[in-house]
Amino acid sequence: MVRTIRSYVISLSVALLVGIVAFISGWTARDVVGSVSVGTFVGTLVDGNGEAISAPDVRSDFEVFWEVWRLVEREFYHPEPLDQQQMVYGAIRGMLASLNDEYTNFQEPDVAAQNRESIQGKFEGIGAYLSVENNQIVIERPIKGSPAMQAGLQSGDIILKVDGAELASLIAGLSDAEAASRAATEIRGPKGSVVTLTLVRAPKMTPFDVDITRDEVPLITVNAQMLNDDVAYIQITEFKATTTAALDEALRELLPEQPQSLVLDLRNNPGGLLKTAQEVLGHFYDGIALYEEERDGSLKQLNTIRASRDVRVFDLPIVVLVNGNSASAAEIVAGALHDQRPNTTLLGEKSFGKGSVQNIHQLRDGSSVRITIAHWFTPNKSDIHTIGITPQYVVPASEDPQYAVPCVAETRPAEGQTNCIDSQLAWSLRFLKTQATPPPPTPTGGLAALNIPG
């Protein structure tokens, strides 16, 4: 999670939004050392405020570094010129890796730019999620209303070329995440520009070209609808800069219908901005949102940020859905609602367990570095880092037909069906209607008893 910036930083899938990297969240820029010329960097070391570092032990340690650097330049066999920029980036990565914190990391300019766009809740590109299958870049799904959807792109389309350049050669040897990021970099671009994609589509698999005019694509992070029995359903997919306004809009549409209870779906939500989490919580109660433990061991209390009166739902019974992909800011919201708000129930599966806070600094060459600055605790001072939050009612995901429910958000029914299958949503609706509670899971992960009325 990121403090105007809390990063979710978990690669839960290789799915990637074109024009962004699907991880992360928020950023604040400070003046910190960036990538500078080797000569400048050799001549001086500076700290985050641009001041010279003069500690003798630091200078001595760096003498060893430069000794190795000079040996590489003098002795390393390299038919092609050395890439000094990548050597510097590699040194930065090695330094951060030595801290043994997976959330403290470095991003090169292209990836950093994609993440900065992502956290703002919009980007310029074609608007499609990408995934990697069998070393090929595949359209996972176009975003509703995006240029990609308007151009007729479909889930499962394989992208062979971007503006005539073969993707296969560009992504060769890369990890799935790196390959998706590289493809996104090639496809994204400024509003109004045109990109030509060469695709193949089953079953014909005959290559064809599609010209797409890029545009600004808003990232949808809030989905809402009314369900049966006066239950309002709200899904938050990430905590971006635009999420609070989207939640306000959703509640202004739902509340006139006088819902008697609410399902808040935070499943598969990787997190996002701390401030946005505080603002979301401000729709549901006033009070403590979380505590942060600073590097000196002190605890800092952070409160909710109160929402406008017309979008507050302080009294409705709420079921919060979480699973193993609910992380960071999503865990802040789930944990705070559990600890602080009466008439709130957590249901689903144990959450991911990311209880650290990162500052994200933009460096002078457009790259960025994420630094873990604190750990956070729920209002009851529970530590969830690497532990996760176990809901009061653990309900494994199930595709058993008896868990038929109305389709929500972007879920679609199986062919020939009108409803979707979702055991966790089914049990949340039954709980809100009758207060019936699910049985404990069996050792195999299923439920001990199955009998949910239609």
pLDDT per residue as tens digits for the range 210-226: 999 999 988 889 999 99
- What is the model's pLDDT at position 454? 34
Please say if the pLDDT value at position 10 is more than 60.
Answer: no
**Is the domain of 281 the same as that of 149?**
no
Residue 200 neighbours by CB distance under 10 Å: 15
Q: Which two tokens stand for residue 141?
A: 């799904």
**Is the domain of 227 the same as that of 213?**
no
Chain segment 428-445, per-residue pLDDT in tens: 999 999 999 998 877 655
**Is the domain of 325 the same as that of 262?**
yes
- What is the model's pLDDT at position 445? 54
Residue 61 neighbours by CB distance under 10 Å: 11
Greater model confidence, 174 or 162 = 162
Instruction: Tell me which of 354, 367, 422, 428 is the catalytic residue.
Output: 354
What does the pLDDT average to over 365-393?
A: 96
Residue 269 domain-assigned? yes
Please say if the pLDDT value at position 343 is more than 70.
Answer: yes
Tell which residue, 290, 269, 268, 270, has the closest CA to residue 278. Answer: 290
Instruction: Tell me which of 328, 351, 367, 398 is the catalytic residue.
Output: 328
What does the pLDDT average to over 180-186?
A: 88
Phi-psi region of 360 (alpha: psi -120 to 50; beta: other; left: phi over 0): beta
Given 183, 218, 253, the domain boundary residue is 218
What does the pLDDT average to over 320-327?
A: 97
Please say if the pLDDT value at position 448 is more than 90.
Answer: no
Given 349, 377, 394, the domain boundary residue is 394
Please say if the pLDDT value at position 110 is more than 50.
Answer: yes
Contact 378, 335 (CB under 8 A): yes
417 pLDDT tier (thresholds 50, 70, 90): confident
Distance between CA 31 and CA 47 in Å, rounded? Answer: 10
- What is the model's pLDDT at position 118? 79
Average pLDDT over the chain reads 85
- What is the model's pLDDT at position 219? 83
Tell which residue, 117, 183, 115, 133, has the closest CA to residue 370. Answer: 115
Contact 415, 386 (CB under 8 A): no
Distance between CA 408 and CA 223 in Å, rounded? Answer: 8
Q: What is the pTM of this model?
A: 0.79
**Is the domain of 302 the same as that of 380?**
yes
Contact 273, 329 (CB under 8 A): yes
Residue 352 domain-assigned? yes
Residue 359 domain-assigned? yes
Q: Which two tokens stand for residue 299?
A: 């605890």
Please say if the pLDDT value at position 68 is more than 60.
Answer: yes
Q: How far is CA 427 from CA 377, 396, 414, 424, in A?
A: 28, 11, 20, 5
Number of domains in the chain: 2
Note the helical H segments in 243-354.
Answer: 243-254, 274-281, 329-340
**Is the domain of 190 the same as that of 309?**
no
**Is the domain of 148 the same as that of 271?**
no
- What is the model's pLDDT at position 144? 82
DSSP string of 7-58, one letter each residue: -------S-EETTS-SS--------------HHHHHH--B-TTSPBP--HHH
Distance between CA 8 and CA 269 in Å, rounded? Answer: 9
Distance between CA 114 and CA 171 in Å, rounded? Answer: 17
Tell which residue, 121, 165, 129, has the closest CA to residue 13. Answer: 129
- What is the model's pLDDT at position 444? 54
Q: Which two tokens stand for residue 86?
A: 């990548």
What does the pLDDT average to over 358-377?
A: 94
- What is the model's pLDDT at position 410? 81
- What is the model's pLDDT at position 48? 44
Task: Tell me the residue range of the domain where 163 lies.
Answer: 122-218
377 pLDDT tier (thresholds 50, 70, 90): very high
**Is the domain of 190 the same as that of 258?**
no
**Is the domain of 263 the same as that of 226?**
yes
One-letter amino acid identity for 185?
T
**Is the domain of 258 the same as that of 137?**
no
Instruction: Tell me which of 339, 367, 398, 422 is the catalytic residue.
Output: 339
Please say if the pLDDT value at position 453 is more than 70.
Answer: no
- What is the model's pLDDT at position 29? 27
Tell me the CATH number at 326. 3.90.226.10
Residue 103 domain-assigned? no
339 is catalytic: yes
Residue 20 domain-assigned? no
Chain segment 16-44, per-residue pLDDT in tens: 343 332 223 333 322 222 223 333 333 33
- What is the model's pLDDT at position 217? 86
Please say if the pLDDT value at position 13 is more than 80.
Answer: no
Contact 320, 389 (CB under 8 A): no
Please say if the pLDDT value at position 96 is more than 50.
Answer: yes
Dihedral, CA atoms, 218, 185, 267, 24, nearest 10 degrees? -90
- What is the model's pLDDT at position 43? 34
Please say if the pLDDT value at position 64 is more than 70.
Answer: yes
Kindly tell me the burial class for residue 415, based on how many C-beta atoms sit within 10 Å of its own C-beta (0-12, 13-18, 19 or more).
exposed
Residue 438 domain-assigned? no
- What is the model's pLDDT at position 143? 86
Please say if the pLDDT value at position 310 is more than 60.
Answer: yes
Chain segment 118-159, per-residue pLDDT in tens: 788 878 899 998 989 988 999 988 988 899 999 999 999 999
Share of the chain above pLDDT 70, in %: 85
Contact 379, 300 (CB under 8 A): no
**Is the domain of 197 the same as that of 346?**
no
Mention every residue, 6+ apart, whose C-beta is less than 8 A from residue 126.
18, 19, 146, 147, 148, 151, 153, 187, 188, 195, 197, 212, 214, 217
Q: How far is CA 190 from CA 19, 39, 124, 170, in A?
A: 10, 34, 6, 21
What does the pLDDT average to over 366-394?
A: 96
Q: How far is CA 62 from CA 42, 44, 95, 100, in A?
A: 9, 11, 12, 20
56 pLDDT tier (thresholds 50, 70, 90): low
- What is the model's pLDDT at position 45? 45
Residue 315 domain-assigned? yes
**Is the domain of 214 the same as that of 228?**
no
- What is the model's pLDDT at position 187? 94
Mention every residue, 6+ apart, whose C-beta is less than 8 A from residue 258.
230
Distance between CA 49 and CA 33 in Å, rounded? Answer: 8
What does the pLDDT average to over 361-379?
A: 95
- What is the model's pLDDT at position 287? 98
Tell me the CATH number at 173. 2.30.42.10
What does the pLDDT average to over 288-305?
A: 96
Angle at 65 between CA 59 and CA 66, to 5 degrees: 85
Distance between CA 330 and CA 269 in Å, rounded? Answer: 6
Q: Tell me the three state secondary structure of residue 360.
A: strand
Tell which residue, 334, 326, 267, 327, has the closest CA to residue 1. Answer: 327
- What is the model's pLDDT at position 182? 87
- What is the model's pLDDT at position 443? 65
328 is catalytic: yes
**Is the domain of 368 the same as that of 269?**
yes
